Structure 1
Amino acid sequence: MQNNQLLRMDNVGIVVESLDNTISFFEEIGLELEGRGMVEGDWAGRVTGLGDQQAEIAMMATPDGHSRIELSRFLKPAVTSDHRTAPVNALGYLRVMFAVKDIDGMVARLMKHGAKLAGEVVQYENAYRLCYIRGPEGILIGLAEPLENQ
C-alpha cells in the first residue's frame, strides 16, 4: 500500500462577477468570511497559467473550520467562458453540497437573496431531505437535511 500524503481538501473555487452578493448568499447559509483581498503579480499568473492576472478573492469557511470556498472576481484577464447556468448533467464541476438543520427555513431565507430551486425539495429514504438551488449568478448548490433514524 502506498503512503498517502493527502492532508485535507483545502477549498473549492468559484469565479463570480459580484463578490458582495455572493458573500451575502454564503453568509446566509452559515459560512463566515475569513478574509478578502487582491491576488496579483507574476507568481499568481504562473500558478494559474493565465500570465498577468489580477483577481479579488474572498475566503468563506464553514462554522466547523474544516471546509472553505474561495470566491474569485477576475479583473484581468477577462473572463472567457460562463458555466454558471449549465444544467445539472453538464460535464465538469457541478455543485457544492451543504448539510443543514432546517432545509425549508434555509430555502426560504435563500430565496430572499434571489435564489431559486432547480427542482424541488425531496426526501431520500429515511436518510435526507435534499434539493438543488441556484443562488447569485446561477451558482448551483445542494442542501441536505439529515433525518433522524426512525
Structure 2
Amino acid sequence: MIFSRTDATNKDFIALTKELDAYLKTTDGDEHDFYHQFNGIESLNTVIIAYHNEIPIGCGAIKHYNDSTLEIKRMYVTPNFRGKGVASKILKELEQWSRDLKYTTCILETGTRQLEAIALYHKNFYKQISNYGPYNEAENSLCFKKTI
C-alpha cells in the first residue's frame, strides 16, 4: 500500500468522496442534508489517498480547527478493502502529517449509525468528547479527540 499526500483537487479523492457521500446518504437518512453541509471538500488542502496496485482504495483529510487542533474529515475505504487495516493506516498517516504541521490534537465527528467508524476510532485511542461546533445539538453525532 502506498500513501499520497495531495489536496482536494485530486481526481481520485473526488471520486472516493462521491462514493462516501452515496454511502452516507443511505446511513444518514433524513439527516443527510444537515451533515452534508459540513463535508465540502473545496477547502481541504491536506488529503491522504491510499493506493493498492495504483488503484485508490481509501482516503482521509485534515482541516484546520484552531491553533493546536486539526479536524479529521472524509475518512473512507472502498468496500473490498474494509476490515484489512486500511482505515487505521490512513488515520496514522493523517496523525503524522498533523504532527509534521506542528498540531497537537485531532478531533472528528462521526454518526451514531457509522458503527465501523466508531470502532475504528476507539481502536486507535480516540476518546469521545462533547459534541463541538456545528454538532453541538446533533443527537446522532459522536465527537472524538486524540492528543497526538
- When normalised by structure 2's length, the TM-score is 0.32
Structure with more of its chain in helix, by fraction: 2
Q: Could you say which structure has the larger radius of gyration? A: 1
